[in-house]
Amino acid sequence: MVSATGHLRLELTASSHFSLHLSTNSSLQTVELAMGASRTLSFHPKDHQETLEIVFSKEFNFPLKYAFKMETDDSSYQTFAFTDIVLLVKSTFECDAGFNGKSCQEKTTSTTTTTSTTTEITTTTTTVLISEVPSTTPIIKVAAFQQSNPSNIVLYSVLILVIVTLLILVFIVFFLLKFPKKNVYIRPETPNLENCPVKIEDSRFFSPMSPRYTTEPHKLF
């Protein structure tokens, strides 16, 4: 007799496409799995069955089996490795509608609660008195200044700085053009050369044609 109090849910994910054969003590089925895609299967155990043994097999590979517990707090992950494929199995035992508990053997008692809500609406009347101001009373007008945007203030400050810089540059260029730089050349003073008689002996200048004496010349007369 098959129990309808709970069911075992298996989420299968394979590393590659292949055909998976699953068998229990009461069923046999083949599931086509695609690479990376999850496939969910459900198994209903028999009444008061604590575990469910499932055999996983692939063609030309040894079968692998595992016993899953029929308990709601036993959610787990299992890895099955074949020759060239890895199979990841996530197992979860869930209770069917109307049952709860660790083994899904307890019946759920439904309780209906009726809540009455009372809403109070309060109406408030407000009287506004408007009095006219005599014409003799001076009216002071207050100008409301809208707060400037900080970004506008920064923009205005930059513009003012650029304008002032341009004015300074124009003033400097105008000053240089109006008052050009004058180069003053100071001529060095030259000494006043006067004609002074210089003796040849004193000047130590001898012509190649002039005679040279080693002794004092004899006077003829």
| CATH code matching the domain that covers 6-105, chosen among 1.10.8, 2.60.40, 3.40.50, 2.40.50 | 2.60.40
Q: What is the pLDDT of residue 49?
A: 83
Q: What is the pLDDT of residue 11?
A: 96
Q: How far is CA 120 from the centre of its chain?
A: 52
**pTM, two decimal places:** 0.46
Strand partners, 77: 90
Dist CA 105 CA 95 (whole Å): 9
Q: Return the minimum-mean-pLDDT range out of 97-101, 103-107, 108-112, 120-124.
A: 120-124
For the stretch 29-37, contacts whose Cβ atoms lie closer than 8 Å and that sit 24 or more positions apart, written own/partner, are: 33/87, 37/13
Type and span of the H or E element at 63: none
Q: Is the pLDDT of residue 201 over 90?
A: no
Q: Is the pLDDT of residue 205 over 60?
A: no
Q: What is the pLDDT of residue 145?
A: 43
**111-131 tens-digit pLDDT:** 555 555 555 555 555 555 545
Residue ranges per domain, the chain?
6-105
pLDDT tier, 36 (very low <50, low <70, confident <90, very high otherwise)? very high
Alpha helices for the chain (secondary structure H):
150-178, 200-203
**177-195 tens-digit pLDDT:** 887 666 666 666 655 555 5
Dist CA 86 CA 13 (whole Å): 9
Q: Are 126 and 111 in contact (CB under 8 A)?
A: no
Q: Are 5 and 44 in contact (CB under 8 A)?
A: no
Q: Is the pLDDT of residue 97 over 70?
A: yes
